[in-house]
Amino acid sequence: MKMLLEGNWVERDNKIEVTDPFDNSVIDTVPVASKDDVETALAAAVKGFEITKRMSVYDRAEVLYKTAEIISGRLDEFATVIAREGSKTINEARKEASRCVNTIKVAAEESKRILGETIPWDSFPGGEKRRGYYYRFPIGVVLAITPFNDPLNLVAHKLGPAIAAGNSVILKPATVTPLSAIKLVEALLEAGLPPLAIQLVTGYGAVIGDALVADERVRMISFTGGVEAGKHIARMAGIKKIRMELGSDSPVIVWKDADLELAVESCVSGSFWAAGQNCIGVQRLLVHKDIYDEFKTKFVARTNKYKIGDKMKEDTDMGPMITEIEAKRVEKWIAEAKKKGAAVLTGGGRQGALMEPTVLENVPKGATIHCDEVFGPTVNLYPIDDLDEAIKDANSLPYGLLAAIFTSSIDVAFKAAYELDCGGVMINDSTDYRLDSMPFGGVKYSGLGREGLKFSLQEMTEPKVVCFNLPDM
């Protein structure tokens, strides 16, 4: 496949092989962009903004509606690409493709709701003869940097609102999963998006990332990825808007009055969806001691039913991690936890990039697998007997994206909702639930700002005040 610069699909002699992590077969190649390509993209994006900022709301919405229609008509094609280049099974990939359609549609709808307000100038002495309002205008060139774990829908979460707002975009997709992003851009162009409105740059972040991030022509960076990369971007960016989603450790409290069957089923899925490579995947399960043994038995039994292997088979529950290097990292973290006293209740084995779904208990708080985001198919069990202490434990790490609690008590649910320090609390659901239109983001090291179409549009626009002084009134 090719990258998009100045409205043209271009190749380069130097290429990256995109491989299937299950069997390392080569799916396709993409160009390796140079710093000269970055300059081309930046200059073209500035020209593109002169076009996009003049597009009517109707035209922006129509492009997005038509894009959603195109993807909807090719769901199997998009799902196959998602599954082949990444970690998701074909069933998981179908869900992502369907979510992408919804994301693009909602972006189209929200483009019609970028509203301003009148301002009561006469609310302070001296303003009696003034009238006015504010409206929101597009911010300019948006740099979208996307991760591998949702290679289509997380791209849509950045491109959809950026286009809806009237911005131009430079897209840098994940090096290991660029094909889904390319197909989405193809669909946008087919739907009528002006070619200069979007630049798609493929290649290595270490080579082109700083040049993109630091350039003053970029007015906003929307980044989803790791904490260290986020810190580096923040240091390099200069004076521009930054929106970041940097991951989490997703604690779930299972209180003594919880529906056990619901909690087990939800949390097994939440722990191992996409081989655990999920920023809202369940990592810590804080289970009341009165039900701990029963929950543990049921949870391990359900985990043991998971079938791992070929992503393209309909009955596969979990595929490989994105690379064997990542699987080896998780294997190392498990070994370290065991050395420090943790017990592996099931799993822990690895074959290539395939990592078994792994459940641990007695994990010491100094173990890496407790302290850091695992981003792999492991989950830790901890017995608790006091709600205040459980909430304190849930809040103890430097992340705060989503948290969850299973309980039948409205009082317990409300207490958790208000005292858990995070961007969202799921009640009687695992942390692995996201409606694409909800405000999505976190606190502490989990990021800055919010995604979700309405909220992304707020981030990707600026308010402008218009005031009339009417001395003859």
Which pair of tokens denotes residue 381? Answer: 């069990």
**What is the architecture, at CATH level 2, of domain 3-247+445-466?**
3-Layer(aba) Sandwich (3.40)
Mean pLDDT of the chain: 97
**Predicted pLDDT of residue 266:** 98
| pLDDT tens digit sequence for 368-405 | 999 999 999 999 999 999 999 999 999 999 999 999 99
User: What is the Cα–Cα distance from 318 to 326, expressed in whole angstroms?
Assistant: 15
Compute CA 175 distance to the chain's CA centroid, rounded to the nearest angstrom: 16
Compute CA 56 distance to the chain's CA centroid, rounded to the nearest angstrom: 29
**Predicted pLDDT of residue 247:** 85
Helix (H, G, I), strand (E, B), or coil: what is residue 288? Answer: strand
Domains of the chain, by residue range, sit at: 3-247+445-466, 251-435
- Residues with a known catalytic role: 245, 279
Quick check: 149 and 443 in contact, CB under 8 A? no
| pLDDT tens digit sequence for 88-111 | 999 999 999 999 999 999 999 999
User: What is the Cα–Cα distance from 233 to 221, expressed in whole angstroms?
Assistant: 9
Quick check: 33 and 12 in contact, CB under 8 A? yes
Residue 347, CB-side half-sphere exposure with 13 Å CA sphere? 29
Q: For the chain, what percent of residues have pLDDT higher than 90?
A: 99
- Beta strand residue intervals within 202-283, DSSP E: 218-224, 241-245, 251-254
**Predicted pLDDT of residue 347:** 98
**What is the architecture, at CATH level 2, of domain 251-435?**
3-Layer(aba) Sandwich (3.40)
**Predicted pLDDT of residue 472:** 82
Maximal C-alpha separation, the chain: 82
Residue 78, CB-side half-sphere exposure with 13 Å CA sphere? 31
